[in-house]
Amino acid sequence: MASTMTAPGTGAAWDQDRFDEHNHSGPSWLRDWRRDAFRDFEALPLPTTALEEWRYTDPKRLKWDVVQLAAEASAAMVPASVAEWLRERTASGRVLQVGAHIVQVELDEALRAQGVILADLTVAAEDHRELVQQHLGSALDDKAGKFAALNGAFWNAGIFLYVPRGVRIDAPIRVVRHLTEAGAGYFPRTLIVAEEGSHVGFVEELDSPDFDAPTFSCGAVEVIAGNGADVQYVSLQRYGANVHHLSTQRTIAGRDANLDTLVVNLGGTVARVDLLASLEGPGSRSDMLGLYFGRGDQHFDHSTRQDHKVPHATSDLLYKGALTDRAHAVFRGLIKVYPKAQRTDAYQTNRSLILSREAEAVALPNLEIEADDVRCSHAATVGQLDEEEMFYIMTRGITRPMAERLAVFGFFGEVLDRLPMPGVVEELKQAIAERISA
């Protein structure tokens, strides 16, 4: 029997009719894969605030059930400034999403000759079936949750990156996802596969104007680093007002692999990121970095997990944020060490800086250790600006607002300094400066 989940007064329904209308592109195996995801979506319960993972963010705040599936769009709908931004950045490949569709894919011909694949995920499912079928959903199972299954059933702007064994990509792959339609639901998906000994950086920017109606972005990211691979994944979210953003991200690091992630949340009305890093090969390492700056009534929720499944692996998480006005942030982190994962090194730190009386931050770090020869620690702090530091800066003739901006930049510097992508770091600093000064 088809679901009848409908939002009163809107006509929006993620039901069987909507799914059948959407599930018509791609090869038959992919349509079957989507159908399985839709069945999981129907079967899985909607999370509630009774669950610890959702206690501080009611799923109703995401407005996921009051939107329509995004309509067709074209490259002509992208502001000139966005297209220019993508053109001017040094890159080995470029992808542009407009609305719910991929409208531009470019890849350096020398890399293409080495077997690198950068493509629309639906096209890749047809042209590179074995690769996509092997890896799609291998890191993020549709049964991981209601929203993961919703993306699995309805994703409409997928990107596939494949880096063959031993190939080094020096300049990053650049992606811009630009939303165009208010009151719409968007379901971007990213699948990155880096084979043994390869190297790649991937920078994904999420962008939109301010909207006059609730808009929903439900993303999914899978990053798989083979033995000895070196991968950096960066997500910069600066959606406009009235965008409600949810991203479920999963990474897998093989033997001696290095897999770094940086999540930057600056925009949107509500933004929730659910990130799990799975260390599955001895000698693997994952640095998990995060930055957020909230103002107005923005609400950010970061839920992270470091899964140590094998011995001799390392993970180090550092999330920092600053909040002003009535902004609210939640950090919930878990380090899980499995019984055989001896000699684990795992660290977790969250620090929030409060810039106004009404801003609020909640930090919930956790450890779950089932091995007896490990080094694990977690720390969390919530504090205000040091008034002596403010006074010292202002004695140089600097106004208090400028002094606060300088203090926030210094606070964020520890995170940005750990990202081994100098050009990208400078761009992130500029984006953060624009947001702080807005």
| DSSP collapsed to 3 states, the chain | CCCCCECCCCCCECCHHHHHHHCCCCCHHHHHHHHHHHHHHHHCCCCCCCCHHHCCCCHHHHCCCCCEECCCCCHHHCCHHHHHHHHHCCCCEEEEEECCEEEEEEECHHHHHCCCEEEEHHHHHHHCHHHHHHHCCCCCCHHHCHHHHHHHHHCCEEEEEEECCCCECCCCEEEEEECCCCCEEECEEEEEEECCCCEEEEEEEEECCCCCCCEEEEEEEEEEECCCCEEEEEEEEECCCCEEEEEEEEEEECCCCEEEEEEEECCCCEEEEEEEEEECCCCCEEEEEEEEEECCCCEEEEEEEEEECCCCCEEEEEEEEEECCCCEEEEEEEEEECCCCCCEEEEEEEEEEECCCCCEEEEEEEEEECCCCEEEEEEEEEEECCHHHHHHHHCCCCCHHHHHHHHHHHHHHHHHCCCCCHHHHHHHHHHHHHHHHC
Residue 74's pLDDT band (boundaries 50, 70, 90)? low
In which band, very low, low, confident or very high, does the pLDDT at 11 lie, cut at 50, 70 and 90? very low
Query: What pLDDT is attached to residue 436?
Result: 87
Report residue 13's pLDDT band, with 50, 70 and 90 as the boundaries.
Answer: low
What is the pLDDT at residue 5? 40
**pLDDT for the residue 3:** 38
Where does the pLDDT of residue 402 fall: very low under 50, low under 70, confident under 90, or very high at 90 and above?
confident
Does 254 or 6 have the greater pLDDT score? 254
What does the pLDDT read at residue 312? 98
Report pTM.
0.94
Query: pLDDT (tens digit, 9 = 90+) per residue, 108-133?
Result: 999 999 999 999 999 999 999 999 99
For residues 70 and 92, the model is more confident at 92
pLDDT digits (tens, 9 = 90+) for 129-184: 999 999 999 999 999 999 999 999 999 899 999 999 999 999 999 999 999 999 99
Mean pLDDT over residues 339-368, rounded?
A: 96
pLDDT of residue 113: 98
**pLDDT at position 4:** 37
Q: What is the pLDDT of residue 9?
A: 32
Among the listed ranges 105-114, 263-272, 306-315, 404-413, which one has the minimum average pLDDT value?
404-413
Q: Give pLDDT, residue 195.
A: 98
Q: Give pLDDT, residue 254.
A: 98
Model confidence at 75, pLDDT cuts 50, 70, 90, reads low
Does residue 44 carry a pLDDT above 50?
Answer: yes
Averaged pLDDT of the chain? 92
Question: Looking at residues 409-420, what average pLDDT do you find?
Answer: 92
